[in-house]
Chain A
């Protein structure tokens, strides 16, 4: 379970998150939609402690985490994996080393156990035989999937996706969206997906949250969202319904 209580985040004079309140139940897949600059990515980065809120609280699995030290936050990051907008793979390392990176730091495993986990994680995202390649040697879509494998290798209880399909072609976009759904259900994780993709949200989300200017405009199940008369929601829906 994740809960945001009165979350405020400012950058200089600009308020990005404006007293946001949101509760996400265990096992839920929640899509957070909104136009650019409404604070969607900032919300995720506050969750994993990359940013710290100026006010408000973040509760993760019954623990208030927003004021934890960088060291104590490691425990949160172990259960809360994040997939970034960019693949964010380390160019100097092979795919194997990239996926093993978190395992070597978070868990005390032997090299053979690490090798098994890497193989298993790559299989989860339908990749095999690319362990020795370096990120620039594989396609962008594959890099995104390796990035996903690197995150799921740690078996997190919460998965955060920051615009996971940005820059992908429609076919790969569908494949990645399907993968998000499949992984979330198979691993029984709580997932928050930040996206612009209403079509995908209607298809796989348990709940859709619409953000504007750092606050929630509306939220509901896909069928509730479809019936919404709010102009911003209709704007997102028009493209899908067309």
Chain B
């Protein structure tokens, strides 16, 4: 029972923390230079891994769909189906998992170390607001960077699918790309990129919250990093389901209206 209370307490804490960040952005916004620096640093840090992850996610989807479509002689649809599935569901999810392990863990460890070594207290004592100085730039930097990285990962997944489609199923690039526009409907694209933004928001909130709330020295930092990775992944899976479910309702309503 106490575990359940703890989970709700943490969710409430993270939401209040998000409210504090957003309120701070209105009242005392941070310097844009700091946001640009953070975005640049996060992007550079994760670009190769995200690109590689995206490429292989597309490749895995292509292999899976090939196994299904080959029996029906429908390999011509491989590109459309693999891309639609990747962009709408599996791509954002897997790439967000990767970013939570890399960006989330790094940010949580960095902020946690600043907390336990009293750097955050020092910021307050030196007349500055820690939210404005260190939380807001990281929060915005992670959102901008993760959205871009997720977008890039999805584009790379098309490349990965196309590459493996050629090798594994003998589908040419032209053939692979031909059915993408017919099968990949705009709701899938909108949903895919909405999920990228949503997952980036979840990641930025949880890792800054966990890092900022760290207590208890090196052990505390380790605990925060683990909790960040676990909470982010669980939150992303849950919100993936919520987003897909709500999107289905919205798209059905839109289709019926049109």
Cβ of B125 under 8 Å from chain A: yes
Q: Looking at the assembled complex, report how far the CB atom of A92 sits from the nearest CB atom of chain B, in whole angstroms.
A: 9
Contacts of B121 in A (CB 8 A): 45, 50, 82, 84, 88
- The interface on chain B, measured as residues whose beta carbon lies within 8 A of the other chain's beta carbons, has a size of 10
Q: Which of A86, A87, A106 contacts B126 (CB 8 A)?
A: A106
CA distance A101 to B118 in the complex (A): 15
Cβ of A222 under 8 Å from chain B: no
Q: Which residue of B lies closest to A73 (CB)?
A: B124
CA distance A170 to B122 in the complex (A): 26
Cβ of B127 under 8 Å from chain A: yes
Cβ of B64 under 8 Å from chain A: no
Q: Which of A45, A89, A105 contacts B127 (CB 8 A)?
A: A105
Cβ B127 vs Cβ A77 within 8 A: yes
- The residues in A between 91 and 139 inclusive whose CB is less than 8 angstroms from any CB of B are 101-102, 105-106
CA distance A88 to B118 in the complex (A): 5
Q: Looking at the assembled complex, report how far the CB atom of B92 sits from the nearest CB atom of chain A, in whole angstroms.
A: 31
Cβ of A74 under 8 Å from chain B: yes
Q: Looking at the assembled complex, report how far the CB atom of A49 sits from the nearest CB atom of chain B, in whole angstroms.
A: 8
Cβ A89 vs Cβ B126 within 8 A: no
Q: Looking at the assembled complex, report how far the CB atom of A108 sits from the nearest CB atom of chain B, in whole angstroms.
A: 12
CA distance A98 to B170 in the complex (A): 60
Cβ of A15 under 8 Å from chain B: no
Q: Which of B119, B124, B128 contacts A89 (CB 8 A)?
A: B119
Q: Which of A88, A102, A105, A106 contacts B119 (CB 8 A)?
A: A88
Q: Which residue of A lies closest to B41 (CB)?
A: A92
- The interface on chain A, measured as residues whose beta carbon lies within 8 A of the other chain's beta carbons, has a size of 24
CA distance A86 to B118 in the complex (A): 7
Cβ of A81 under 8 Å from chain B: yes
CA distance A4 to B124 in the complex (A): 22
Cβ of B117 under 8 Å from chain A: yes
Q: Which of A84, A150, A154 contacts B118 (CB 8 A)?
A: A84
CA distance A106 to B128 in the complex (A): 9
Contacts of A86 in B (CB 8 A): 117-119
CA distance A78 to B127 in the complex (A): 7
Cβ of A181 under 8 Å from chain B: no
Contacts of B118 in A (CB 8 A): 84-86, 88
Q: Which residue of B lies closest to A101 (CB)?
A: B126
Contacts of B124 in A (CB 8 A): 48-50, 77
CA distance A101 to B126 in the complex (A): 7
Which of B117, B118, B126, B128 has the most A CB atoms < 10 Å from its CB? B126
Cβ of A90 under 8 Å from chain B: yes
CA distance A49 to B125 in the complex (A): 9
Contacts of B119 in A (CB 8 A): 86, 88-90
Cβ A88 vs Cβ B122 within 8 A: yes
Q: Which residue of A lies closest to B121 (CB)?
A: A50
Contacts of A78 in B (CB 8 A): 127
Cβ B127 vs Cβ A106 within 8 A: yes
Q: Which residue of B lies closest to A82 (CB)?
A: B125
Q: Looking at the assembled complex, report how far the CB atom of A193 sits from the nearest CB atom of chain B, in whole angstroms.
A: 16
Question: Known contacts A86-B118, A89-B119: does B128 contact A101 (CB below 8 Å)?
Answer: yes
CA distance A44 to B128 in the complex (A): 19
Q: Looking at the assembled complex, report how far the CB atom of A39 sits from the nearest CB atom of chain B, in whole angstroms.
A: 17
Which of A50, A78, A88 has the most B CB atoms < 10 Å from its CB? A88
Cβ A150 vs Cβ B126 within 8 A: yes
Question: Known contacts A84-B122, A88-B122: does B127 contact A102 (CB below 8 Å)?
Answer: yes
Q: Which residue of B lies closest to A48 (CB)?
A: B125
CA distance A45 to B124 in the complex (A): 11
CA distance A81 to B126 in the complex (A): 8
Q: Looking at the assembled complex, report how far the CB atom of B21 sits from the nearest CB atom of chain A, in whole angstroms.
A: 16
Contacts of A147 in B (CB 8 A): 122
CA distance A31 to B127 in the complex (A): 26
Q: Looking at the assembled complex, report how far the CB atom of A170 sits from the nearest CB atom of chain B, in whole angstroms.
A: 23
Q: Which of A50, A87, A89, A90 contacts B125 (CB 8 A)?
A: A50
Q: Which residue of A lies closest to B129 (CB)?
A: A70
- The residues in B between 96 and 135 inclusive whose CB is less than 8 angstroms from any CB of A are 117-119, 121-122, 124-128
| Residue contacts A-B, CB under 8 angstroms, 5 given | A84-B118, A88-B117, A88-B121, A101-B126, A102-B126
Given contact pairs A86-B118, A150-B126, A154-B126, enumerate 8 new A-B contacts (beta carbons under 8 Å): A48-B124, A50-B121, A78-B127, A88-B117, A88-B119, A89-B122, A101-B128, A147-B122
